[in-house]
Structure 1
Amino acid sequence: MAEVSPRQRNRLLITLDLFFFVFGGVSAAWLAYLVLQAGISPGWPMLLMVLFWVLAAYLALPRIHRILTAIYLPDYFIGRARTADGLLGDPVNLALRGSSGQIHQAMRAAGWTRADEVTLGTGWRIVTSTLTGRSYAAAPVSPLLLFGRQQDFAYQQEVAGSPSRRHHVRFWKCPPGWLLPGGFAVDWLAAGTYDRSVGLSLFTGQITHKIDQDVDIERDHILDTVTAAAPAAQVELLRNFSTGYHSRNGGGDRIETDGDLPVVDLSGLPPTATSELAVEPEADGVHRPPQVVFGALVAALLGLEYLGLLLLLLVPDSPTIGVPPPITGVEIVAEGVFAAMGLVNLLLALALLTGRDWARVLLCGSSVVSIVVAWVGNAAGTERISLSTNLAAVAVSVLVLLALSSEPARTYAEARRSRRKSGKGSPAGP
């Protein structure tokens, strides 16, 4: 049998990932429909309508947008950032020259606060702060993508102590040798907007900040504060850099701009203590994303469930003193299956945590099989999916598929594989 070349193996993996990604989006939409169907009943099942909104807004619609925008949106610089769902986000309305330390120095001197990174803890804190009206000066901003990656850092100014209203600006480091259209060389690009309130996204229904539509006012506010605090900064204006337009951002908010792009040169600022102001090094995809942790947790719990069933078989129901219970052939086979499935799932969980792509693909494949079997049974009427049958099991399979077919999960596996090939070894966990 001919050996599979690395190129063929990579092509096969790309094809499988594309299938898992698309199938995951279709499965999420189907799961949302099943929950909606179960929730249209009098009494407590009506509470499932909240779960339907969560599934539709945070799982199904984002994945569908991601699939469609990969088809019709160009993958090159057009003066707009993109959301994690692939939608066009805020306009790029600032460019900068200088080091990261000089940007940090200028922004802090101008009275801006660096935004925290998005984590479970900071996400929960901004929710509670918004609901209670408490100040959170370093509240995180949602990730937007430029050059295929999210912002390197962001700064903000809270207004009247309310986390729902704030000035904020995201910064992206330009790739080496990259030039703006027209041949202008800059080191950083930025997108500044003003959050006026909290509401629902027009395109996904997610809870998000709503921005003021005149983004030029925010651009000028950033310029005024920075140049006032750093007189050595020089500003060059690229007029009509992009055609002035009216549009919407990824949350559906209207935006309008004159298309001018200020270029702020901070390279003349005096040197700073870069150890205090430098950007923290990125994880290079080697820290485990929550999607991978979730998939591994489900696999581990499934493995423990099989081992628990094995223990139930090994412990007799009503043992007779001094007389061991007879063991049938069926019990021996069942014990072997439970032991094998338990160990296999625990092995998959461990392999997934260490970035083994084969484990991710196997778990995605097993989730696809489970979803297809459930769909066929439901369509044929042999096993209707409902709250009292296997809706929870179907939901777990869909969630695992969505998690492990996501871009963070793929990037993590690719980064760990690259590190192993380069001989750098396995870094510590998150």
Structure 2
Amino acid sequence: MVTATAQGIPGDAINVGLVGARGDVVSAFHAAGWYPADPVTLRTSFEIIGSVLLDRSYKNAPVSPLYFDGRPEDLAFEKPAGTSADRRQHVRLWLVLQSGADGGPVWLGSASFDSGVTLSRDTGQVTHKIAPNIDEERNRLIEGLDNARTVLSISQVRGVGPTLNGRNGEGDPYYTDGEIWVATLISAGQKAPDPAKITSAPALIQMKDMMFAWSSFLK
């Protein structure tokens, strides 16, 4: 449940899941105010540098590719936190099942918050540093989709497991309770009448989350 860089270095942890067709996913992120990320090219790399240096808007700034199950992400979205592209919410998504237990396509993704821009130590390309609390970003993403009334239900499944001293492909530290929040999406063009029904985690998971929250606070 961890992504990898093109060089095979462990990357960001998988922490979100979505159930729905590709159109449902795109529609949900659009409704929540997110933008699809541009591909990484020489032009977009210069454009993101200009965005940061000149404090200029670039809502579709690229995200560097990561790999899961041997292939790069199928979709990537972002939501700026300010004018320029140096601070933003972002998520990469992989289609992992054409038909899951509920009959719909299943996507897994890694969500984190970009807190600044730097150069990749491996490629020299422009990349971002992530904020260490990736659970906060996971929760904010799913809650944002829910607030946009695009979610029918929310549940949890085990991901990477409790991690206090994780490192991604650029060496940025992160910590997580290790759970994946899974949102079942409503069909594109429709709106859920009420907030999503959240399936309670098993008692042992709740106890683990409480212990992890205490440990991360002490950290």
Query: Who is 1:242 aligned against?
Result: 160
What one-letter code is carried by the residue in structure 2 that aligns with 1:146? F
Residue-by-residue CA offset, 1:338-397 (whole Å, 9 max, x unaligned): xxxxxxxxxxxxxxxxxxxxxxxxxxxxxxxxxxxxxxxxxxxxxxxxxxxxxxxxxxxx
Query: Who is 2:31 aligned against?
Result: 109
Aligned CA distance change for structure 1 residues 141 and 99 (closer, same or farther; 3 Å): same
Rounded to whole Å, the distance in 2 between the matches of 1:152 and 1:161 is 26
Alignment of 1:2-41 (within 5 A): none
Residue 174 of structure 1 pairs with residue 127 of structure 2: no
| Partner residue of 1:129 out of 51, 56, 80 | 51
What one-letter code is carried by the residue in structure 1 that aligns with 2:26? H
1:164 alignment partner, SS class: coil
Residue 270 of structure 1 pairs with residue 187 of structure 2: yes
Query: Who is 1:196 aligned against?
Result: 115
Aligned CA distance change for structure 1 residues 176 and 102 (closer, same or farther; 3 Å): closer
Residue-by-residue CA offset, 1:281-322 (whole Å, 9 max, x unaligned): xxxxxxxxxxxxxxxxxxxxxxxxxxxxxxxxxxxxxxxxxx
Unaligned runs of 5+ in 2: 191-219
Displacement after TM superposition at 1:178 (Å): 8.1
Structure of higher RCO (CA pairs closer than 8 Å, 6+ residues apart) = 2
Rounded to whole Å, the distance in 2 between the matches of 1:103 and 1:205 is 32
Query: Who is 2:42 aligned against?
Result: 120
Contact 2:52 2:84 in 1 (8 A): yes
Displacement after TM superposition at 1:260 (Å): 1.1
Contact 2:14 2:108 in 1 (8 A): yes
Query: Who is 2:65 aligned against?
Result: 143
Rounded to whole Å, the distance in 2 between the matches of 1:103 and 1:231 is 9
Contact 2:20 2:106 in 1 (8 A): yes
Contact 2:15 2:159 in 1 (8 A): no
What one-letter code is carried by the residue in structure 1 that aligns with 2:13? P
| Partner residue of 2:178 out of 259, 268, 272 | 259
Query: Who is 2:143 aligned against?
Result: 224
Query: Comparing both structures, which one devotes a greater share of its residues to strand?
Result: 2
| Partner residue of 1:215 out of 106, 131, 134 | 134
Query: Who is 1:405 aligned against?
Result: none
Rounded to whole Å, the distance in 1 between the matches of 2:67 and 2:187 is 31
Residue-by-residue CA offset, 1:152-192 (whole Å, 9 max, x unaligned): 1111111111211111011111155789xxxxx96101110
What one-letter code is carried by the residue in structure 1 that aligns with 2:182? V
* RMSD between superposed Cα atoms in Å: 2.3
Alignment of 1:343-422 (within 5 A): none
Displacement after TM superposition at 1:205 (Å): 6.3
Aligned CA distance change for structure 1 residues 255 and 204 (closer, same or farther; 3 Å): farther
Rounded to whole Å, the distance in 1 between the matches of 2:139 and 2:99 is 28
Unaligned runs of 5+ in 1: 1-78, 180-184, 274-430
Contact 2:28 2:188 in 1 (8 A): no
Rounded to whole Å, the distance in 2 between the matches of 1:253 and 1:222 is 20
- Residues paired across the two proteins, number: 187
What one-letter code is carried by the residue in structure 2 that aligns with 1:125? E
Displacement after TM superposition at 1:199 (Å): 2.4
1:133 alignment partner, SS class: coil
Aligned CA distance change for structure 1 residues 199 and 264 (closer, same or farther; 3 Å): same
Contact 1:244 1:257 in 2 (8 A): yes
What one-letter code is carried by the residue in structure 1 that aligns with 2:130? I
Query: Comparing both structures, which one devotes a greater share of its residues to helix?
Result: 1
| Partner residue of 1:95 out of 17, 23, 27 | 17
| Partner residue of 2:6 out of 65, 84, 87 | 84
What one-letter code is carried by the residue in structure 2 that aligns with 1:92? I
Contact 2:45 2:126 in 1 (8 A): no
Larger radius of gyration: 1
Using the size of structure 1 for normalisation, the TM-score is 0.41
What one-letter code is carried by the residue in structure 1 that aligns with 2:37? A
Using the size of structure 2 for normalisation, the TM-score is 0.78
Rounded to whole Å, the distance in 2 between the matches of 1:186 and 1:204 is 33
Query: Who is 2:77 aligned against?
Result: 155
Rounded to whole Å, the distance in 2 between the matches of 1:207 and 1:118 is 10
2:62 alignment partner, SS class: coil
Q: Which runs of structure 1 show a deviation greater than 6 angstroms over 4 or more consecutive aligned residues?
A: none
What one-letter code is carried by the residue in structure 1 that aligns with 2:61? A
Contact 1:146 1:172 in 2 (8 A): yes
Query: Who is 1:407 aligned against?
Result: none
